Chains A and B, each alone.
Chain A
């Protein structure tokens, strides 16, 4: 740009100087000399005028060109982003443990390689999918659509997702503060609240946070084997959910969150004992200390959940008779995690897990843990677990156990609202 500009300047100004030097010597005689000078001066003036106009024009062109260049640069930048911009955000979580259980021995447990994808669908919805590969194979854990602009404070979700039951049931296991799912959650809810179905949430217009969810699903629970997801059935055999969730700031640094959930199945049919209703109720209470000026290196979370499961369960007697009886199983967990600097956290999990078939028999778990995060995306955790087991169903669920867990995140990973 600069070269052509100065060249143009030379083109305009040099002829003016040339006129000036060339015309002067050819005049002779006083009057004619004066006339010649006048005319040459006039000529110079005209030429200078032209040169100035030309400079002005070039200046204008220069500004126009540079703003054109800026525009082109901008569009190049945006089109360079356009190809990947339409791709969803992609992340992979790798979660592994080296573990030893006094009853069954040790293993390197490849727990999960979890591929997460998320993007807006259109102005009205967004979508996400979480596909997990583990020792058990590859599975679509979640793949769901969520509306973003329904009126009346409503939000709908559909597909396969973790139903809005309780708190920890909506976490993927690598998001826990400790290594394993509490046994109480595993036995009573069936692990994560994985469900195929549809959900509608409503945000109340209260000055404080109050949110309700209603849902309908085939069933709830990743390990719920009461019925087969792939079979059609009468509407009485679906599971219906209601949840109410609220939150209060006690002070700037202390807060409390409370939720209550109920999942009702009008008819659960089990072999030999026929149908019954199933009621699964949950109560979750979370206290957090988050000192605002120190959130990078100080926090305490105290998480508690109680679960009650009520349904008819089969009991097989020694003589081979199978009898169905309503069983009310009550269990839960409580854990506290203390983050004491930017990289380190420690805590303790107490777990109280009944057998849902014979609620009198319990397993109690005690697990201290220590977590080191060299960065936000890389985490090592050591955990010791002692399980005092009276249920005697699974050998792996008793005795002393140690775990060393290594969890990393590749690519995009943001914490959504549910795993805050």
Chain B
């Protein structure tokens, strides 16, 4: 019985391929671009989840168990679910700090690193804001980290990874230049977001954050907080409210009170067919935001 079960999963056509598991579709897409035919890549999440409350599904365990490489965002973005899975995945080579673990946050200039780590400040990210993928320039760092990580584990394919990396960076650079142009109208736009995940994006394109719907990270708004947020939005003339995988109840309420437009953006690729790659995902967010501003 054991032998049969064991034989079933191995020995198939993909046995030679490098098995890569990424935590989010953004990383899976970039890994595919760099590994091409040498890799089989799968993302554990679909891009629609709120990254801090991804269900710990046992179906992820066999995938992690068989992975040669695990690619993660790092900065504790996955801390509420990935460690619990790795606990039972029996795969020491992909644990944090091991060669098979690629932490894409290496080399990223981390924003909002807390000076005080206290839960009175909400569910703070002790290592800083982990949503760095929203700044496309960080996409280049992600790609470099993935190429380096793949080469570290499979040095025999280093030349291929480097060649694919160069091609991908070229493509990404072109897109970045295009976005820089189209994002012109975003400069100086004041916005409110549900959770504080838009800092990197705002910094890149010159938007100014007026506040968050959450009182503190992970803490739902109180009536008082909403009243003062409305006042601030009116004083500062906030134009747009950004939310993601949260309920649209408060964004709609605030929009009704302030006249700001609301827009649902994605914090990760993969949520829809139009965002099935990292580049398309940034494209789609920019488009949605620009069209929301026009309406407003």
- State the A residues within 8 Å of B (CB): 123, 146, 148-150, 153-155, 201, 203-211, 245, 247-249, 252, 255, 257, 288, 290, 292-297, 341-343, 374-377, 414-417, 420
Contacts and interface: CB of A to CB of B under 8 A. Distances in A.
Given A208-B62, A209-B58, A297-B246, A153 B90 contact: yes
A205 B61 contact: no
B46 interface: yes
Nearest to B79: A414
B122 A249 contact: no
B219 interface: yes
B50 A211 contact: no
Interface stretch (B3-11, B144-152, B170-178): B3-11
B87 interface: yes
B48 A293 contact: yes
Contacts, number: 115
B220 A295 contact: no
A375 B122 contact: yes
A293 B9 CA distance: 31
B291 interface: no
Contacts of B85: 417
B220 A342 contact: yes
A150 B88 CA distance: 12
Interface string B203-242: 0000000000000001110000000000000000000000
Interface secondary structure of A, over-half rule? loop
Interface in B58-82: 58-59, 61-62, 65-66, 79-80
A205 B8 contact: yes
Contacts of B90: 150, 153-155, 203
A123 B96 CA distance: 11
A374 B214 CA distance: 12
Interface in B36-55: 45-46, 48-50, 52-55
Contact of B218 (A203, A297, A341, A375): A375
A70 B84 CA distance: 35
12 contacts: A204-B6, A205-B10, A206-B5, A248-B59, A294-B245, A297-B247, A341-B247, A342-B220, A342-B247, A414-B79, A414-B83, A420-B84
Given A207-B8, A209-B62, A420-B55, 14 more contacts: A149-B92, A203-B88, A203-B90, A204-B6, A205-B5, A205-B9, A205-B66, A208-B62, A292-B49, A295-B50, A297-B247, A341-B247, A416-B87, A420-B84
A123 B92 CA distance: 9
Contacts of B46: 252, 292
B273 interface: no
Contacts of B45: 292
Contacts of A341: 247
B119 interface: yes
Nearest to B6: A205
A245 B79 CA distance: 24
Interface string B116-154: 000100110000000000000000000000000000000
